[in-house]
């Protein structure tokens, strides 16, 4: 294989990875937008979403088949379930803390993350669960680059979800309200916008997107475990920061950029795949230090 | 409106000592005589514990004392300066690996290696804190988390750190001909370290720097207007915290004789943080209590098994929702 | 001139808040900055103290250019400020609040604190003594051990002034110190401001809406409107200035005292 082929192959791998990052990053960025909180539990919602998707597929796989049809049903139900979970988390844990100092709400978010993680750890004995599907390995060969049908479905689904989100945010009343709330909550209240409801909807959508990513990732990689939300949570946050936290197109772009950077990064001599994660965190730290507003983010207003 | 609930339930700012000032930071009792009596009782209890409880308990208590040192260090970062550090185990790792590597690759000997380990930890603190402490507090939390993972990944992939299997055969130190090697001896070493850690924490809290941490945590702008360089003050907290962590790591390494990357995982950072929050951020006796709960809790409730972390996690959530200042009582003013 | 602003220009998101403002404060002077709401007075304070970064111009204090300095460097050079809405350190005592001011005049670090070096102990005693002295100066020494935010409002204002004094300033910026005070307290404040200048030799620059207080206490008055300096002079000169009268009459409410 020539260098071009290797790079093309990595482009495909990067797109797949980037789609997962983007879907999770969207939730981070939307939730940050409306309540200015880094929802540490978001990666774990993705993880629980993977498990719920797996549970549904195990239940209905027999009748519907465990290929993309069954997985779509599992993904949909998991999205609903995780959307509700997100709303509950916001109501129970974050809402009472909104007026408290920042440190308190951050620790609360961490606590929620740990509760989710350790609940699943307890239920699964910390074992990796095989996510069995009937997905094939067929695909298209373009030049020397091989793209599986699974990869195409996955990237396509992620793209559809993102288009749907973008339409929701720019065309509907609640989407506009969401953007308004992220700019000025008090003004929204004066204008008669039900801020609590907008926040709930944001948590629902953000968590549902994470659940979609969790289910697809489980099906694609064939395994799930309680700690899988940790790394992707961190990376999705990186993606959100690259794109500019609070910016929806930024999160999409940031996810893809990070996925591609990782895929190409592993080809750089000296950065083998074992250094992949170190590579991503280094990018995170560099972005935060040199361009904390990201590519699409607005600069934070002056202090005071 | 829904948010009325939020303001009605608006709680006391979580960290530290509601209604008290720096002078009352160590508020165990109002009466100084009772206070010194309490200190004496605690010291005697620490001194005789190994004689009373036997070998196994001594090992567990040694671990608890290690946590006391680590928690007091993290308390400076989180409790005093109000910075959320999710990668504290990294400094613990830097200290441990530094003495282990220096012990193997050089002829320095344990005591001479300590300054190098401390400098390495402080340098790590400056490198990670310097550029990031001016960022939003939640960004800092994520950066520290990433940093913790970078350190662990590096330890797992580098040759000098022994990769996944770590470093073993770390030599136990001698002091003036006394070879420290039994669990009981190490218990007393850690007891001494804990006492030093407490004294240093109290003195820092009652100092110009200690007050500056509180000023910056309460109101960054007002603190700046008073001529306090907030980045520098936070960096000081971060570096001092990293030195505490490294001291814990140094003695942890020689006590066990072997270290591996898994001793310094995210879970480790979280446990230390939980201890600080459960006990009460910024309150030294509370933090010590938290360290003992985190270590002794699972020992007392043997049947918990895998549930251990879940129980702590739920505990942490409940503490944040219902008693954010921790379980140690706050003194009424 | 102790403080000299030349062509200071400040913009926020395309809105110009300050248009080429020029003015100065002389050594040991009592100067007031007045103007209708939204005139840019507090923004000007923030430009001087380093909280805002003006896009153009220069701010020279005691021979130092302040424009690119962070707030803590400005304070160290000798400018102290109070805040319009009280910014005391919660949960801390009055004395601890005032001790904050001494931070920039002292040096002991972590090492000195941990080992309780003689220098550190001397410094701690000095910090405490000077903080108590500042509290005595503003007349609330007997409340030093109370939690600052539990004090009566007027006394909280004095804690802020004592805290600013503890930074040993050459110039003190007071942002609406009379807001929320009753008339008796206002008279005491006038006395306090004069004593700050007379006994401590500190120049005072005051933002205030209470015109009675401004006219009584200030030697010079500068008037700001819509981010532009429209008048400057003694109380009498300013009072008669048609531009000032127009600026204030244009307002629907407040400042009727002029």
Residue B312 lies in a domain: no
Residue C172: phi and psi, rounded to 5, are -120, 130
Residue B315 lies in a domain: no
> Domain containing B263: what range?
57-274+290-296
Q: What is the C-alpha separation between C221 and C178, in angstroms, rounded?
A: 17
Strand pairing partners for C6? Answer: C58
Q: What is the C-alpha separation between B144 and B131, in angstroms, rounded?
A: 12
- Which chain C residues contact residue B226 at CB under 8 A? 72, 75, 100-101, 103-104, 163, 167
Residue A155 near residue A162, CB atoms below 8 Å: no
Q: What is the C-alpha separation between C223 and C145, in angstroms, rounded?
A: 40
Tell me which of C153, C181, C196 is where a domain ends.
Answer: C153
Q: CATH number of the domain at A125, please.
A: 1.10.3470
**In this structure, are C17 and C73 located in the same domain?**
yes
Query: CB contact, 8 Å: B8 with chain A?
Result: no
Strand pairing partners for C232? Answer: C222
Q: What is the C-alpha separation between A217 and A48, in angstroms, rounded?
A: 12
Q: Do B149 and A104 touch (CB under 8 A)?
A: no
- What is the mean predicted confidence (pLDDT) over A158-167? 90
Instruction: Per residue of chain B (333 residues), give pLDDT as tens.
Output: 344 444 433 333 434 434 444 444 445 455 677 778 888 888 888 888 888 888 888 889 999 999 999 999 999 999 999 898 999 999 999 999 999 998 888 878 888 889 999 999 999 999 888 888 887 777 888 888 888 888 888 888 887 887 888 888 777 887 777 777 788 888 999 999 999 999 999 999 999 999 999 999 988 899 999 999 999 999 999 999 999 999 999 999 988 888 898 888 888 898 899 899 888 888 888 999 999 988 888 777 766 667 878 888 898 888 888 887 777 776 544
Residue C162 lies in a domain: no
**In this structure, are C245 and C174 located in the same domain?**
yes
Tell me the pLDDT tens digit for each residue of A143-154: 778 888 888 888
- Which chain C residues contact residue A303 at CB under 8 A? 51
Residue A137: phi and psi, rounded to 5, are -120, 15
Residue B151 lies in a domain: yes
Q: Strand C171-175 relative to strand C203-207: parallel, antiparallel, unpaired? A: parallel
Residue C254 lies in a domain: no
Q: Based on the structure, what is the number of domains in chain A?
A: 1
* Residue B240 pLDDT: 95
**In this structure, are C125 and C176 located in the same domain?**
no
> H helices within chain C, ranges in order?
41-48, 71-77, 94-99, 110-115, 118-138, 153-165, 183-200, 211-217, 235-240, 242-249
**In this structure, are C245 and C117 located in the same domain?**
no
Q: What is the C-alpha separation between A254 and A257, in angstroms, rounded?
A: 5
Residue B172 lies in a domain: yes
Nearest to A304 among B15, B142, B221 (CB): B221
> Domain containing A29: what range?
3-290
pTM for this predicted structure: 0.86
- Which chain A residues contact residue C46 at CB under 8 A? 304
Q: Do A304 and C51 touch (CB under 8 A)?
A: yes
Residue C98 lies in a domain: yes
Q: CATH number of the domain at C187, please.
A: 3.40.50.300
Residue C161 lies in a domain: no
Q: Smallest Cα–Cα separation from C117: which of A1, A90, B203?
A: B203
* Percent with pLDDT over 90 in chain A: 31
* Residue A52 pLDDT: 94
Nearest to B306 among A122, A285, A303 (CB): A122
More confident residue, A280 or C11: C11
H or E element at residue C233: strand C228-233
**In this structure, are C65 and C95 located in the same domain?**
no
Going from the C-alpha of C115 to that of each of A69, B196, B210, the distances in angstroms are 70, 11, 14
**In this structure, are C64 and C106 located in the same domain?**
no
* Percent with pLDDT over 70 in chain A: 95
> Domain containing C16: what range?
3-78+169-249
> Residues C142, C148, C151, C157: is their CA dihedral positive or negative?
positive
Tell me which of C127, C153, C179 is where a domain ends.
Answer: C153
Tell me how long chain B is: 333
Q: What is the C-alpha separation between C33 and C45, in angstroms, rounded?
A: 10
Q: What is the C-alpha separation between C109 and B203, in angstroms, rounded?
A: 11
- The mean pLDDT of chain A is 86
Q: Smallest Cα–Cα separation from C173: which of C208, C139, C141?
A: C208
Q: Based on the structure, what is the number of domains in chain B?
A: 1
H or E element at residue B73: helix B32-75
Residue C112 lies in a domain: yes
**In this structure, are C46 and C147 located in the same domain?**
no
Grouping H, G, I as helix, E, B as strand and the rest as coil, residue C256 is coil
Residue C158 lies in a domain: no
Tell me which of C153, C183, C203 is where a domain ends.
Answer: C153
Q: Based on the structure, what is the number of domains in chain C?
A: 2
Residue ranges of chain C whose pLDDT lies below 70: 249-258
Residue A297 lies in a domain: no
- What is the mean predicted confidence (pLDDT) over A101-106? 84
Q: Give, as one character, the DSSP assignment of residue B157.
A: H
- Which chain A residues contact residue B273 at CB under 8 A? 107, 110
Q: Which residues of C10-32 are buried (b: 16+ CB within 10 A; e: fewer)?
A: beeeeeebbbebebbbeebbbbb
Residue B20 lies in a domain: no
Range 160-199 of B in CB contact (< 8 A) with A: none
Residue A304 lies in a domain: no
**In this structure, are C130 and C173 located in the same domain?**
no
The per-residue DSSP string of chain A comes to --HHHHHHHHHHHHHHHHHHHHHHHHHHHHHHHHH----TTHHHHHHHHHHHHHHHHHHHHHHH-SSHHHHHHHHHHHHHHHHHHHHHHIIIIIGGGTTS-HHHHHHHHHHHHHHHHHHHHHHHTTPPEE--------EEEETTEEEEHHHHHHHHHHHHHHHHHHHHHHHSHHHHHHHHHHH-HHHHHHTT--HHHHHHHHHHHHHHHHHHHHHHHHHHHSEE-TTHHHHHHHHHHHHHHHH-TT-HHHHHHHHHHHHHHHHHHTTSTT--GGGHHHHHHHHHHHHHHH-TTTTTPPPPPPP-
Residue A174 near residue A180, CB atoms below 8 Å: no
* A295, pLDDT greater than 80: no
Q: Strand C15-25 relative to strand C3-12: parallel, antiparallel, unpaired? A: antiparallel
- What is the mean predicted confidence (pLDDT) over A101-119? 89
* A269, pLDDT greater than 80: no
Q: Do B310 and A121 touch (CB under 8 A)?
A: yes
**In this structure, are C67 and C12 located in the same domain?**
yes
Query: CB contact, 8 Å: A119 with chain B?
Result: yes
Residue B82: phi and psi, rounded to 5, are 70, 25
Residue C257 lies in a domain: no
Residue C163 lies in a domain: no
Q: Do A304 and C46 touch (CB under 8 A)?
A: yes
Find the residue in C nearest to B207 (Cα).
C113
């Amino acid at each position: 294989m020539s260098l071009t082929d290797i790079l093309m192959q990595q482009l495909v791998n990067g797109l797949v990875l980037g789609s997962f990052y983007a879907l999770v990053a969207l939730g981070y960025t939307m939730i940050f937008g409306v309540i200015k909180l880094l929802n540490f539990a978001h990666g774990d919602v993705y993880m629980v979403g993977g498990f719920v998707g797996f549970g549904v597929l195990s239940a209905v796989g027999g009748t519907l088949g465990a290929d993309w049809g069954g997985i779509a049903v599992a993904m949909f139900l998991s999205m609903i379930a995780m959307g509700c979970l997100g709303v509950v988390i916001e109501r129970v844990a974050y809402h009472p803390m909104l007026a408290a100092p920042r440190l308190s709400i951050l620790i609360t978010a961490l606590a929620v993350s740990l509760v989710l993680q350790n609940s699943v750890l307890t239920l699964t004995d910390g074992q990796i669960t095989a996510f069995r599907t009937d997905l094939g390995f067929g695909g298209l060969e373009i030049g020397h680059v091989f793209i599986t049908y699974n990869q195409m479905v996955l990237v396509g689904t992620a793209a559809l979800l993102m288009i749907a989100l973008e339409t929701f945010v720019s065309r509907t009343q609640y989407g506009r309200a969401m953007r308004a709330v992220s700019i000025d909550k008090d003004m929204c209240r004066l204008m008669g916008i039900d801020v609590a409801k907008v926040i709930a909807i944001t948590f629902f959508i953000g968590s549902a997107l994470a659940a979609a990513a969790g289910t697809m990732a489980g099906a694609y990689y064939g395994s799930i475990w309680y700690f899988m939300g940790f790394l992707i949570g961190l990376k999705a946050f990186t993606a959100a920061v690259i794109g500019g936290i609070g910016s929806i197109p930024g999160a999409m772009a940031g996810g893809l950029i990070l996925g591609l950077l990782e895929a190409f990064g592993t080809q750089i001599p000296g950065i083998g795949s074992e250094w992949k994660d170190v590579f991503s965190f280094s990018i995170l730290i560099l972005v935060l230090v040199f361009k904390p507003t990201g590519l699409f983010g607005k600069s934070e207003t002056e202090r005071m | 409106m829904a948010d009325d609930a939020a303001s009605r339930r608006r709680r006391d700012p979580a960290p530290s000592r509601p209604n008290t000032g720096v002078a009352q930071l160590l508020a165990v009792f109002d009466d100084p005589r009772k206070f010194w009596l309490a200190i004496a009782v605690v010291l005697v209890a620490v001194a005789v514990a190994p004689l009373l409880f036997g070998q196994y308990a001594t090992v567990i208590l040694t671990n608890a004392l290690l946590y006391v040192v680590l928690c007091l260090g993290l308390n400076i970062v989180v409790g005093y300066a109000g910075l959320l550090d999710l990668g504290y185990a990294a400094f613990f790792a830097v200290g441990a690996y530094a003495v282990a590597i220096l012990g193997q690759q050089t002829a320095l000997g344990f005591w001479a290696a300590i300054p190098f380990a401390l400098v390495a930890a402080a340098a790590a603190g400056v490198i990670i804190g310097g550029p990031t402490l001016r960022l939003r507090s939640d960004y800092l939390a994520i950066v520290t988390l990433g940093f913790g993972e970078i350190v662990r990944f590096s330890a797992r992939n580098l040759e000098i750190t022994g990769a996944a299997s770590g470093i073993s055969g770390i030599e136990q130190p001698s002091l003036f001909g006394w070879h420290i090697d039994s669990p009981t001896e190490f218990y007393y070493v850690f007891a001494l370290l804990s006492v030093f850690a407490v004294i240093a924490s109290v003195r820092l809290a009652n100092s110009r720097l200690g007050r500056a941490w509180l000023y910056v945590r309460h109101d960054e702008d007002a603190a700046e207007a008073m001529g306090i360089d907030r980045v520098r003050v936070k960096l000081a907290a971060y570096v001092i915290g990293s030195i505490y962590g490294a001291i814990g790591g140094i003695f942890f390494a020689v006590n066990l004789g072997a270290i591996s990357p898994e001793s310094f995982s995210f879970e480790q950072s979280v446990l230390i943080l939980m201890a600080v929050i459960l006990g009460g951020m910024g309150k030294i006796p509370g933090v010590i209590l938290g360290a003992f709960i985190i270590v002794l809790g699972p020992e007392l409730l043997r049947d918990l098994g895998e549930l251990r972390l879940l129980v702590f996690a739920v505990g942490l959530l409940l503490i944040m929702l219902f008693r954010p200042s921790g379980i140690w009582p706050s003194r009424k003013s | 001139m102790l403080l000299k602003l030349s062509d200071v220009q400040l913009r926020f998101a395309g809105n110009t808040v300050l248009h080429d403002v020029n003015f100065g404060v002389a050594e040991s002077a009592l100067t007031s900055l007045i103007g209708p709401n939204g005139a840019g007075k507090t923004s000007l304070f923030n430009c001087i103290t380093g909280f805002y970064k003006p896009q153009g111009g220069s701010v020279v204090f005691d021979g130092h250019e302040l424009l690119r300095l962070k707030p803590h460097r400005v304070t160290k050079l000798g400018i102290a400020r109070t805040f319009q809405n009280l910014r005391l350190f919660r949960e801390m005592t009055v004395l601890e609040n005032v001790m904050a001011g001494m931070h920039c005049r002292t040096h002991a670090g972590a090492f000195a604190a941990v080992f309780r070096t003689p220098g550190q102990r001397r410094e701690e005693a000095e910090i405490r003594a000077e903080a108590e002295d500042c509290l005595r100066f503003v007349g609330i020494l007997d409340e030093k051990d109370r939690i600052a935010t539990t004090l009566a409002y007027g006394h909280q204002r004095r804690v802020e002034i004592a805290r600013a004094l503890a930074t040993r300033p050459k110039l003190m910026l007071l942002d609406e110190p009379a807001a929320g005070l009753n008339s008796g307290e206002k008279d005491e404040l006038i006395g306090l401001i004069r004593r700050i200048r007379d006994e401590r030799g500190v120049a005072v620059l005051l933002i205030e809406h209470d015109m009675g207080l401004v006219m009584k206490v200030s030697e010079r008055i500068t008037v700001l409107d819509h981010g532009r300096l429209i008048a400057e002079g003694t109380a009498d000169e300013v009072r008669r200035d048609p531009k000032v009268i127009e600026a204030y009459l244009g307002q629907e409410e407040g400042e009727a005292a002029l």
